[in-house]
């Protein structure tokens, strides 16, 4: 290898290290018995990588566009803080239905973010059978950070991916790395080094309580129809009694 090639390779490795080695993720979700919930999501990334997407103004434009195109998010706030070589983005969201999370990840509003962000958000599938919900999310850190393949594993040992899910009931099954609050809080905690080896899967199964608020609302909606049926039956009964007399 020539001196020039060695210098270029060294520069590329240094740049890749700055882009890939500064990723930390913390996502925390609270799901309620009525199906709604909230999320608190923090990503810590390389400030250099952020500058490639317009820096703080560019990141704000992405988030604003995403929120504007996602009506299923009922409330939101976010903060962006740059400290030295790192940028921390914190996003807090509220949603009326946990099923909206599935729509958000597969919806058109994701287009506001670069492909790397979409790989970190991953894919989500929620299957509901009766009152049992199967949650399955797959995240692709290696696709989000392809330059990481050029770096030694030791570059990532201080950085982690942390996902926390608070449920209204205990999970009956999960692949969480830690269970808290008698199984109602699921934690997936892993080093970035391991997450770059294969897609990250977070999954659980739980029997979700009947959303009584929705039942009550549905009952109110059925009252007019129920009253009409009662009126028709009562009128038909009176006719039969008159005929017999």
Please report whether residue 220 resides in a domain: no
Q: How far apart are CA 99 and CA 74, in angstroms?
A: 13
Flag whether 83 is in a domain: yes
Contact 139, 105 (CB under 8 A): no
Q: What is the number of domains present in the chain?
A: 1
Whether the per-residue pLDDT at 58 is higher than 70: the answer is: yes
Q: Could you tell me which residues come within 8 angstroms of residue 127 by beta carbon, excluding any fewer than 6 positions away?
A: 133, 134, 136
CA distances 42 to 59, 202, 214, Å, are 14, 18, 32
Element (H, E) at 217: helix 212-244
Q: Is 14 inside any structural domain?
A: yes
pLDDT at residue 100, rounded to an integer: 77
Residue 28 lies in a domain: yes
Six-digit token string for 75: 């409330």
Report pLDDT for 153.
61
More confident residue, 19 or 173: 173
Tell me the pLDDT band of 159, cut-offs 50, 70 and 90: confident
Residue 240 lies inside a defined structural domain of this protein: no
Which of helix, strand or coil describes residue 173?
Answer: strand
Domain-embedded: residue 227? no
In this structure, what DSSP letter does residue 12 have? H
Residue 17 confidence (pLDDT) = 38
**Rounded mean pLDDT, 61-74:** 89
- 230 inside domain: no
pLDDT on residue 84: 84
Question: Strand 185-191 and strand 37-46: pairing?
Answer: unpaired
User: Which pLDDT value is given to residue 152?
Assistant: 60
CA gap 109, 39 in Å, rounded? 17
Q: What is the rounded distance in angstroms from the CA atom of residue 81 to the CA atom of residue 43? A: 11
Q: What's the predicted TM-score (pTM) here?
A: 0.76
Q: Is residue 163's pLDDT more than 80?
A: yes
For residue 243, what are its two tokens? 């005929």
Is 233 a domain residue? Answer: no
Domain membership of residue 105 as a residue range: 3-210
Predicted pLDDT at 212: 32
| pLDDT band of 136, cuts 50, 70, 90 | very high
């Amino acid at each position: 290898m020539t001196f020039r090639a060695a210098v270029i390779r060294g520069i590329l490795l240094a740049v890749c290290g700055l882009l890939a080695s500064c990723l930390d993720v913390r996502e925390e979700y609270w799901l309620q018995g009525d199906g709604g919930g909230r999320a608190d999501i923090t990503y810590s990334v390389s400030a250099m990588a952020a500058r490639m997407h317009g820096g703080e103004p560019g990141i704000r434009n992405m988030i604003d566009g995403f929120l504007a195109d996602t009506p299923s998010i009922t409330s939101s706030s976010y903060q962006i803080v740059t400290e030295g070589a790192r940028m921390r983005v914190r996003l807090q969201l509220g949603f009326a239905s946990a099923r909206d999370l599935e729509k958000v990840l597969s919806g058109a509003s994701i287009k506001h973010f670069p492909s790397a962000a979409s790989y970190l958000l991953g894919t989500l599938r929620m299957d509901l059978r009766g009152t049992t919900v199967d949650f399955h999310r797959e995240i692709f850190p290696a696709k989000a950070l392809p330059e990481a393949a050029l770096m030694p594993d030791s570059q990532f040992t201080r950085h982690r991916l942390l996902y926390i899910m608070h449920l209204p009931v205990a999970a009956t099954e999960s692949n969480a790395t830690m269970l808290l609050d008698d199984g109602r809080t699921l934690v997936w905690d892993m080093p970035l080094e391991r997450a770059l080896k294969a897609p990250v899967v977070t999954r659980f199964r739980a029997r979700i309580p009947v959303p009584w608020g929705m039942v009550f609302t549905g009952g109110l909606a059925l009252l007019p129809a129920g009253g009409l049926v009662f009126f028709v039956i009562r009128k038909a009964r009176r006719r039969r009694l008159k005929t017999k007399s």
